[in-house]
Amino acid sequence: MLVADSDLGLIFADNLHIGREPDSPNQVTTIYDTSQAPPMLTLDNETGYYYESCQVRVRSTSYTVGYDLIKDIRDSLHGRAGETWNDTLYTLIRCSNGPSMLTWDDNNRVIFIINLEIQRR
């Protein structure tokens, strides 16, 4: 979804990564899976909804550039509903908090985060 939003300028494996933040480039977005709630249980053991979450981190040498990007990512994803991507139905994506500044790293780069709740099946 983030790559498809051309306004964000994110390119997978270049300035957008999953699970591991590279040392470079200085401006990078990384998505981390986090836990939220257990999957839906049904009486007939049919596949129900999965209630997952993720944290999106933006690292930048510029406070305003990093903040603007994390805010744009939040605005792109928050409230998306009823979309199918890669054979998965995303019934809701909701920003649960953020954007928030997390820290400055040892290379004087600022890190911002948002947390997203995801309902899908």
Reported as a single tens digit per residue, the pLDDT across 36-76 is 777 777 777 666 788 899 999 999 999 999 999 999 999 99
What pLDDT digit, counting tens, does each position of 76-94 carry? 999 999 999 999 999 999 9
Report, in this order, helix, strand and coil percent for the chain, each rounded to 5: 15, 45, 40
pLDDT recorded at residue 28: 98
Measured between its terminal Cα atoms, the distance across the chain in Å is 16
CA distance 48 to 56: 25
Place of tokens 């920003």: 95
Structural domains in the chain? Answer: 6-87+97-120 (3.30.2000.10)
Predicted local confidence at residue 45, as pLDDT: 67
CB 91 within 8 A of CB 59: no
